[in-house]
Amino acid sequence: MPSDSAPKIDGARLWERLMALARIGATGRGGVDRQALTDNDAAAWRQLIQWSVIHKLRAERDDAGNFFLTLPGTDPSLPPVLIGSHLDTQTTGGMFDGAFGVLAALECASAIADAGIRPPRTLTVVAWMNQTGSRFAPGMMGSAVFAGARRLVDIRAVSDAARVTVGAALDKRQGAVPLPDRPIGFPFAAYIEAHIEQATILEAANLPIGIVTGIQGKKTWRVDIRGAEGDAGTAAMATRRDAVATMALLISALYGEVAIADPAVKFTVGRVTVDPNAPAIVAGRASFTIDLRHPDHAVLKRLGAKVEMLCKMLARPCAVRLERLDNAPPMAFDARLLDWIESVAEAAGHGSMRLLSAAGHDARYMARLAPSAMIFIPCRGGISHAETEWAEPAHVTAGAEVLLGSVLPLLTS
Ligand SMILES: [Zn+2]
């Protein structure tokens, strides 16, 4: 029953909802398979709608498949505060990635509704469509379209391994869970996303709250090497144009000169292909991918230029073509929001520290539109996107408490 008192996080209710949501797509080994725009994903929407009915939240969606639960404020002229994350998982995902942020946000809206108070500003809980990119690559589709970084028509054309397009899956879901429509990219006052850390910094520091200062930058490439096929027994070494030899030289130079440039560099060659990939044939073609990340924009730029220079310098006697894929600069969250969240954590008695997110999140796109921030809680061993993903109930509650404390004043200003 609603009661006129300060809103308070109900940690037991939040934990029960997390466990119940984890049953939708449960793998049977502690994990969750709830990929974007599947029947399980639709069932998760239905479950959240069911929970939110008693709190009188308004359920809506937009054409990009983003899902909204709204607690209306008394002044509809004020743009809402957005809080949330994502509900989709990898095929062998965990119970907390994304789900924690959405359910912590729902718990904040539930707590405010239960307290019987109605702030001037509207609070909207959001679940972004396809953050993980597990079924449809790349991820962060819903938030990218919402922020105008990608076009709806382009993401609708992307297909999964079974050749089902995002467009067809979106239309199917709209039929399965029909909801009123909201315009893509509607204005909002601020965005805060709570998430598990997916690394071990908080665990090592034995602190329940991370104030996320930003997201490290990332550049990715595909490198195609074209040489000439030859017979392993007869082709003269001096005149070979061996694509594997060039690839080996290039990769070792990249590891030697880029990967170890400083301790903050993350450098990965993740996929390698060789054609024809036969034991007695000099390969005519080879390709590999490069994933380069760094928190400092200037360093990322400099190392990116070095990658491209080495690929040009070491190409001969083959031809090397470099295709740029991602180019996401490092980004920083709103300084005033970070200060505020830090003071909220301190006042609540939850120890916190500032840290950088190594992984990408939907908040990256929201930061383009309005002041944005993220709150991390630890996850055991830093393990995420795995069935063994685990967060402690006390940390889940602490994260939701800091989120609620951060959001409340934003609703009255
Ligand atoms: Zn996530």
DSSP letters, 255-318, are: IIIIITSSTT-EEE---EEEES--TTEE-SEEEEEEEEEES-HHHHHHHHHHHHHHHHHT-TTS
d(CA 405, CA 358) in angstroms, rounded, equals 25
Digit-coded pLDDT (tens) for 334-393 = 999 999 999 999 999 999 999 999 889 999 999 999 999 999 999 999 999 889 999 999
pLDDT at residue 250 greater than cutoff 90: yes
Average pLDDT, the chain: 96
Tell me how far the alpha carbon of residue 127 lies from the centroid of ligand 1, in angstroms: 11
Phi-psi region of 148 (alpha: psi -120 to 50; beta: other; left: phi over 0): left
Tell me how far the alpha carbon of residue 318 lies from the centroid of ligand 1, in angstroms: 41
Tell me how far the alpha carbon of residue 343 lies from the centroid of ligand 1, in angstroms: 25
Tell me how far the alpha carbon of residue 374 lies from the centroid of ligand 1, in angstroms: 12
Tell me how far the alpha carbon of residue 240 lies from the centroid of ligand 1, in angstroms: 47
Task: Give the global pTM.
Answer: 0.86
Q: Are 289 and 269 in contact (CB under 8 A)?
A: yes
Nearest to 178 by CA among 40, 37, 42: 42
Tokens of 331: 């980004």
Tell me how far the alpha carbon of residue 363 lies from the centroid of ligand 1, in angstroms: 10
pLDDT at residue 132 greater than cutoff 60: yes
Tell me how far the alpha carbon of residue 76 lies from the centroid of ligand 1, in angstroms: 31
Tell me how far the alpha carbon of residue 197 lies from the centroid of ligand 1, in angstroms: 9
Tell me how far the alpha carbon of residue 69 lies from the centroid of ligand 1, in angstroms: 19
Tell me how far the alpha carbon of residue 98 lies from the centroid of ligand 1, in angstroms: 4
The per-residue pLDDT for 319 is 97
Tell me how far the alpha carbon of residue 225 lies from the centroid of ligand 1, in angstroms: 35
161 — pLDDT class (breaks 50, 70, 90): confident
Tell me how far the alpha carbon of residue 227 lies from the centroid of ligand 1, in angstroms: 41
3-state secondary structure of 322: strand
The per-residue pLDDT for 1 is 46
Digit-coded pLDDT (tens) for 293-344 = 998 889 999 999 999 999 999 999 999 999 998 888 889 999 999 999 999 9
Tell me how far the alpha carbon of residue 398 lies from the centroid of ligand 1, in angstroms: 18
Tell me how far the alpha carbon of residue 85 lies from the centroid of ligand 1, in angstroms: 7
DSSP-derived secondary structure letter, 342: H
Tell me how far the alpha carbon of residue 385 lies from the centroid of ligand 1, in angstroms: 8
d(CA 362, CA 143) in angstroms, rounded, equals 6
Query: Which residues on neighbouring strands pair with residue 210, listed in sequence order?
Result: 353, 376
154-172 burial: b if 16+ Cβ within 10 Å, else e: ebbebebeeeeebeebbee
Tell me how far the alpha carbon of residue 130 lies from the centroid of ligand 1, in angstroms: 10
Tell me how far the alpha carbon of residue 289 lies from the centroid of ligand 1, in angstroms: 23
Tell me how far the alpha carbon of residue 298 lies from the centroid of ligand 1, in angstroms: 27
